Structure 1
Amino acid sequence: MKNLRSCSQAELLSTINQISFAINDITLYLDTHPNDEAALAYFSEHMESRKELLKEYATRFGPLTLDSDKENCRQCWDWVMQPWPWEGVC
């Protein structure tokens, strides 16, 4: 994965979407193959990458999910006031 700081908002969102798809796919596989060590390692690695990407995205552009806003907790519910990812940069 390239340096996250050099990624644009669109690139970062695209990478998050790709990793999220891979996680969803491997989750389905693990439902039927729960003892596959390689698949479990793949799942763990990609979950960690997704967590890092969501944290970077939240820091730079605002949270995509409620759980990615933990470090940016505020006294008010203001994260919904930011532009949505599909609205682009104003």
Structure 2
Amino acid sequence: MNENELLYKIMKYIFSAVELNLYLDNFPTNQKAIDDYNELSRKIGFLVCKYEKCYGPLTNFGTASIENPEKWTSNPWPWENK
């Protein structure tokens, strides 16, 4: 999976998680929605970790790995045009 495919998948899962979060605001006891939200959260965490190891941090909030600090400045940020 290349950088753009990985980033797209992360964004797709985050969008779904936000939608489930909004749903759970109205139906907080729906176990299927809770399970789906937890599964999406796990997948997002895994994919973000994978992305950051390969391409550098996605955010500047202190959660990125520092295994490759040179990648923090060597590539454009995900929101910058390439």
TM interval, shorter chain, is 0.7 to 0.9
2:40 match: 46
Could you list the runs of 5+ residues in structure 1 that have no partner in the other structure?
1-6
Query: Could you say what secondary structure the match of 2:12 adopts?
Result: helix
Could you list the runs of 5+ residues in structure 2 that have no partner in the other structure?
none
Residues 2-37 of structure 1: per-residue CA shift (max 9 Å, x gap): xxxxx1000000000000000000000000000000
From the two aligned structures, give the one with the greater helix fraction: 1
1:25 match: 19
Residues 1:84 and 2:80 are matched in the alignment: no
TM-score (norm 2): 0.83
TM-score (norm 1): 0.76
Q: CA deviation at 1:83?
A: 1.4
2:56 match: 62
Using the aligned pairs only, state the percent identity. Answer: 28
Say how many residue pairs are matched.
78
The 3 A distance-change label for structure 1 pair 9 and 73 is closer
Query: Could you say what secondary structure the match of 1:72 adopts?
Result: coil
